[in-house]
Structures are given as C-alpha cells and as structure tokens.
Amino acid sequence: MAGCQCAQATTCSSHGNLIRLGVNIRDFDYLIALAGNPNTGKTTLFNALSGLRQHTGNWPGKTVVRSEGAFRHNGYKYKVVDLPGTYSLLSTSEDEEIARDFILFGNPDCVVVVVDATALERNLNLVLQVLEITDRVVVALNLMDEAERKGMFVDARKLAKELGVPVVPMVAREGKGTDHLLQTVQDLVTGNLRTQPRRIELDPHIEEAVQQLLPHLKNLYPNLSNHRWLAMRLLEGDPSIRRAILTDSLAQTESPLAPQKEEDMSELEAALEV
C-alpha cells in the first residue's frame, strides 16, 4: 500500500480493497497486520504499539470485532490491524476467512505473525500458511519468558534461517523486543531487508496446473500479489475461494470485469470444470 501514493481512493483498486475491508485509508504510510494463534499476545502487542490511538468496530458484514490502531516510528506513520486469532487460514470459520481475506486482499505492507515460543510446532503451521501468501512477513517470537521458565531454548536465528524471514524474540507483556520488532518491520517495509520465505515445493503435475491457471488469474486480478496461492487453493477445491471466484465477489474488489477478461473467466471455469 505504501507504494500506492495515488491519493485517488475512488479509482485505485488497492484503495478500494481496503475500504471494502473496513480500513480507513487516510493518513498512513504503512499498513501492518498482526496475525497469530489465539493467546499468543497479539492484542498485548497491539496495545503496546498503538496505546490509546485505537478504534474498534466490527469487520464489515461480520459480527467479529476488529481493532485498528495507529502509531509513529522514526517519522513514519503506521496503521496496525489486530486480526482475529486463528490456527489456520484454510478452513471456513468466520475468523479464518477475515484473517485470510485481509492478508490476501488488504495488501498489508507487513504481516507480523505473533507466535508462542512454548508451542512452536502448533504455531508454525499458521506461519507457513502466511508465507505462502506473502513474503512481507516478520515473526514475533513471543512468550520467551514462559519458554525460559519451562527450560526451553528457542533458537530465533536458526528459526529465521529455516523460515527465510526475520524472527524477533519478545516478551510483549513487558515490552521486551518491541524496538527490535519495529526496526525490523521498518527495514522490511522500506525495502532495506528482503525475505526468502520457505515455500512448499509442489508435485510437478500440480505445478503444471498452477502454471496453467496463473495467466488467467493475473489478467482477472492484476492488483493481487499472490496469484499462485489463489491457484493452489482453487486446485485444492477450497470452497470459499471457489465461491468467491465463481460469484465474482473477488472481481468486485478489483475494477469491474473488462470485456476482454471474459475469456480468462471462461478459461478458468473450464480449467476448474464447472
């Protein structure tokens, strides 16, 4: 979003997506999303970052509460959105759909995935799913005090190397690691730091099918940055993504379907054997 300096909220489709997702698009340089399993300290971190500069309401069309905050760091204005806690982005619960749609269509400049250092195995499942969607990820390795108390040693450097994205050890409740996190986020959003997220290597047949879908998805949704993820979900038969494509609700997040795109839509439908 930060790259989108167009100031034309009515015509820019990235802006359109954010408005649809309920984000007040005025007055920020970078948009940060906080994702993570429940009880990992997302809200604690959210409060530490945004203090009293918070606004709560509902996610558009949902009964789930959403919190949005703002803060400044090194002269940049950040907006931060506290996503619902989820274990995955794949199933169809309302919380997971909200988190997934925000990461997918809200185009945040950085997704901070807050993880529980004492339960890495469970938490990394979500991290890997987020990494499939975006490479703009920083992992906040929280509850390091609990890990220590339990005699667990978590090697943040090694984890960062394995995941291909920065990992910042934190004790959010005590504000420990917050500065390091903010510096890392800033380096990422300003392009000083590049990530190389670990991604699943697909079976050659599936890869071929993905390659067939990609050009159509790119033509239909030129502003999305994660066509590959969409293609994989479609091939998997993910009902909510399939529904979104077929009922054209994704297209509404873009500019209206141009006539030349009808061909891509029918190719896509044919490929999916609808």
Ligand X SMILES: Nc1nc2c(ncn2[C@@H]2O[C@H](COP(=O)(O)OP(=O)(O)O)[C@@H](O)[C@H]2O)c(=O)[nH]1
Pick 145 or 267: Cβ nearer ligand X: 145
In the bound complex, what is the minimum distance in angstroms from residue 129's beta carbon to Mg ion? 19
Pick 117 or 268: Cβ nearer ligand X: 117
**What is the per-residue binding string for Mg ion in 31-70, x denoting contact by CB under 5 A?**
-----------xx---------------------------
Locate 214 and state its tokens: 């990609």
From the list 87-95, 133-141, 142-150, 158-166, the region that binds ligand X by CB under 6 A is: 142-150
Locate 209 and state its tokens: 């099918």
Q: Which of 14, 86, 123, 142 binds ligand X (CB under 6 A)?
A: 142
Q: Is residue 108 within 8 Å of residue 185, measured between CB atoms?
A: no
Is residue 39 a contact point for ligand X (CB under 6 A)? yes
**What is the per-residue binding string for ligand X in 45-74, x denoting contact by CB under 6 A?**
------------------------------
Chain residues 128-167 in contact with Mg ion, contact rule CB under 5 A: none
* Type of residue at 16: G
Is residue 44 a contact point for ligand X (CB under 6 A)? yes
Phi-psi region of 36 (alpha: psi -120 to 50; beta: other; left: phi over 0): left
Q: Which of 36, 106, 108, 169 binds ligand X (CB under 6 A)?
A: 36
Binding site partner of 3, from Mg ion, ligand X, none, Cβ cut-off 5-8 A by kind:
none
Is residue 85 a contact point for ligand X (CB under 6 A)? yes
Q: Which residue is nearest to Mg ion (CB)?
A: 43
Degrees to nearest 5, angle at CA 124 with 175 and 150: 55
Q: Annotate 32-57 with DSSP letters as a single string.
A: EEEEESTTSSHHHHHHHHHTT-EEEE
Pick 40 or 186: Cβ nearer ligand X: 40
Q: What's the rounded Cα separation, in Å, for the pair 29 and 7?
A: 12
Degrees to nearest 5, angle at CA 50 with 47 and 52: 85
DSSP β-ladder status, 65-73 and 137-142: unpaired
Exposure b/e, 122-152, CB count within 10 A at least 16 = b:
ebbebbebbbbbbbbbbbbbbbbbebeeeee
From the list 32-40, 62-70, 86-94, 243-251, the region that binds ligand X by CB under 6 A is: 32-40
Locate 90 and state its tokens: 């794949």
DSSP state for residue 176 in the 8-state scheme = B
Is residue 145 a contact point for ligand X (CB under 6 A)? yes
Is residue 42 a contact point for ligand X (CB under 6 A)? yes
Pick 41 or 106: Cβ nearer ligand X: 41
In the bound complex, what is the minimum distance in angstroms from residue 61's beta carbon to ligand X? 22
Q: Is residue 234 within 8 Å of residue 221, measured between CB atoms?
A: no
Angstrom CA distances, 141 to 41, 165, 218, stand at: 10, 12, 34
Is residue 178 a contact point for Mg ion (CB under 5 A)? no
Interface positions with ligand X (CB under 6 A): 36, 38-44, 85, 142-143, 145-146, 171-173
Interface positions with Mg ion (CB under 5 A): 42-43
